[in-house]
Amino acid sequence: MRQFSYSRPDTLDAAQRIPEHTRYLAGGTNLIDLMKSDVERPKHVVDLNALSMSQIEERPDGGLRIGALATNADTAAHPLVTERYPLLASAILAGASPQIRNRATNGGNLNQRTRCHYFYDPDMACNKRSPGTGCSAKGGRNRIMAILGTSEACIATFPSDMCVALAAMNATVNLTGPEGERSVPLRDYHRLPENTPWQDNILRAGEIVTSIDLPPLSFGPHHTYLKIRDRLSFAFAIVSVAAGLQMENNTIRKACIAMGGVGTKPWCVPEAEALLEGKTPSPSLFRDAADCLLQGAVTDRDNAAKLKLAPRVIIRALSQAAAGTPQSQTQKTIF
């Protein structure tokens, strides 16, 4: 960790007037970790915690707005979330540990960085950390790296669980910055690495995530967050699937599906959703959806297991959603 200046402004306006090399601090569970490892080297740290952005409130359209500073734990436990967006609660609870979720915020979760081993180790070449140095993960120990959306420059996953559910539900991210406010669909918020992997998302300098809007949406019991990982708790996803289905007389009216652990961003394929809509659930239908979701997947040295597992996890998640038996995050049996 290198010396930095610290400030804690109490207006959004002040928080946006920032010099170069600034990082915002929310819960700090990711940023501080990276600073200790010398991966993030901000000259200025601007603490957002004096701003009031931790609301969880209903929207006029029947949707929900969750504040960027609301903690992951509070969000997952909020009655409006557990009643109306259990898929989101489930995805949050599938991640990290209670201690970390108590501290981690929704804005921080959106902006957390990859867990790529090489990104985390300043002795190693990494285009995301040090543009132009190369990608050590290619041909290296890349069991945890992505198989979808990768580029020559970077194959790292975006590791969030919460964002997978948000992507499935087509949430919207509200931003405010020196150039004003804007709203961006979550599916467009994170970027593919292409040849600029250091840009994880579309956030501009001085821009702050203020809240996330969830559309009015109900799947009833027909949803699930199924996460496969190297141990049964407290590990990032090898493959995860967030699925929500609106069912009508055993027909899928609307399908929302996103994947985590496999993509360089929360992975959504609208064609796969379209393919499910208007159909009756069946294993072969789900297999088609899996094929569609995984189109273009490329494996590297160590991560073929992801491609082997992914279709099975998709099929199982869709079966759970169709049957109305969401995966429990405490009971580890997968139904």
Partner 1 sequence: MTLHSAKIGQPVSRIDGIAKVTGQARYAAEPHPAGMLYGFIVNSPIARGRIEAIRDEAARAVPGVVEVMTHLNRPHSALFEKSYMDGLGVPGSPYRPLHDAEISFNGQPVAVVLAETFEAAREAAMRLEVDYERWPHNADFEASLHQKYMPGKTRSNYVPPKSRGNAAEAYALSPIKIEGRYHLAPEHHNPMEMHATTVIVEEDGTFTVWDKTQGPQAVQAYLTSALSLSKDQVRVRNPYVGGAFGSGLRAQHNVFLAVLAAKMLNRSVRVTLTRQQMFTHVFRPEAVMDIALGAQPDGTLQSMIVNGVTDTSRFEHNMENLVIWGLINYKCPNATADYKVAPRDTYTSSDMRAPGAATGVNLFEMAIDEMAYACNMDPLDFRLHNYSDIDAMHDMPLTSKALKEAMHEGAERFGWQNRPMAPQSMRDGKDLIGWGMATGIWDAMFSPTSARATLTADGRLHIATAASDIGTGTYTILAQTASEAFGIPMEMIDIELGDSTLPECPTEGGSWTAASAGAAVWLACQSLREKLFKAVGKSGNISAWLTEGLSNNTTVLKDGFLQDKGADENLRLSLSEALSLTGQDRLEVEETAKPGLRGTISQMRKARFTHSAVFCEVRVDEELGIVRVTRLVNAVAAGRIMNPKTAASQVRGAMVMATGMALHEESLMDERVGRFMNHNFSEYHIPAHADIPDMDVLFIAEEDPEVSPLGIKGVGEIGMCGTAAAIANAVFHATGQRHRNLPITPGD
Ligand X SMILES: Cc1cc2nc3c(=O)[nH]c(=O)nc-3n(C[C@H](O)[C@H](O)[C@H](O)COP(=O)(O)OP(=O)(O)OC[C@H]3O[C@@H](n4cnc5c(N)ncnc54)[C@H](O)[C@@H]3O)c2cc1C
Residue 320 near residue 335, CB atoms below 8 Å? yes
Interface residue with ligand X among 162, 252, 256, 315 (CB under 6 A) is: 162
Taking the C-alpha atoms of residue 206 and residue 17, their distance in angstroms, rounded to an integer, is 7
Does position 128 interact with partner 1 (CB under 8 A)? The reply is no
**Burial tier of 23 (Cβ tally within 10 Å: 0-12, 13-18, 19+):** middle
Angle (CA) 67 163 85, round 5°: 65
How many residues comprise the chain?
335
- Give the nearer residue to ligand X in terms of CB position, either 19 or 62: 19
CA dist 258 to 134, 227, 270, 293, 309, Å?
29, 12, 9, 9, 15
- Give the nearer residue to partner 1 in terms of CB position, either 26 or 145: 145
Q: Which does 120 bind (CB under 5 to 8 A by kind): ligand X, partner 1, ligand SF4, none?
A: partner 1
Q: Which stretch binds ligand X (CB under 6 A): 81-89, 156-164, 187-195, 273-281?
A: 156-164
Interface residue with ligand X among 75, 112, 127, 142 (CB under 6 A) is: 112
Q: Which stretch binds partner 1 (CB under 8 A): 42-50, 102-110, 135-143, 175-183?
A: 135-143
Does position 29 interact with ligand X (CB under 6 A)? The reply is yes
Does position 118 interact with ligand SF4 (CB under 6 A)? The reply is yes
Residue 289, classed as helix, strand or coil, is helix
Place of tokens 């996103």: 258
Does position 306 interact with ligand SF4 (CB under 6 A)? The reply is no
Taking the C-alpha atoms of residue 68 and residue 209, their distance in angstroms, rounded to an integer, is 6
Place of tokens 């967006």: 85
Q: Which long-range contacts (CB under 8 A, 24 or more apart) does 291-294 make?
A: 293/257, 293/259, 293/267, 293/269, 294/147, 294/148, 294/262
Interface residue with partner 1 among 45, 53, 89, 228 (CB under 8 A) is: 228
Least distance from ligand X to the Cβ atom of residue 112, Å: 4
Taking the C-alpha atoms of residue 179 and residue 299, their distance in angstroms, rounded to an integer, is 40
Does position 284 interact with partner 1 (CB under 8 A)? The reply is no
Interface residue with ligand SF4 among 155, 237, 290, 292 (CB under 6 A) is: 155
Q: Which long-range contacts (CB under 8 A, 24 or more apart) does 267-276 make?
A: 267/148, 267/149, 267/167, 267/293, 268/167, 268/168, 268/187, 269/293, 269/295, 276/245, 276/252, 276/318
Least distance from ligand SF4 to the Cβ atom of residue 302, Å: 12
- Give the nearer residue to ligand SF4 in terms of CB position, either 144 or 247: 144
**Binding positions for partner 1, rule: CB under 8 A:** 1-3, 36-38, 115, 117-118, 120-124, 136, 139-141, 143-144, 228-236, 238, 304-306, 308-309, 312-313, 315-316, 332-335
**Binding positions for ligand SF4, rule: CB under 6 A:** 114, 116, 118-119, 126-128, 135-137, 145, 154-156, 197
**Binding positions for ligand X, rule: CB under 6 A:** 23-31, 33, 48, 68, 72, 95-96, 100, 103-105, 107-109, 111-112, 159-162, 208-209, 236
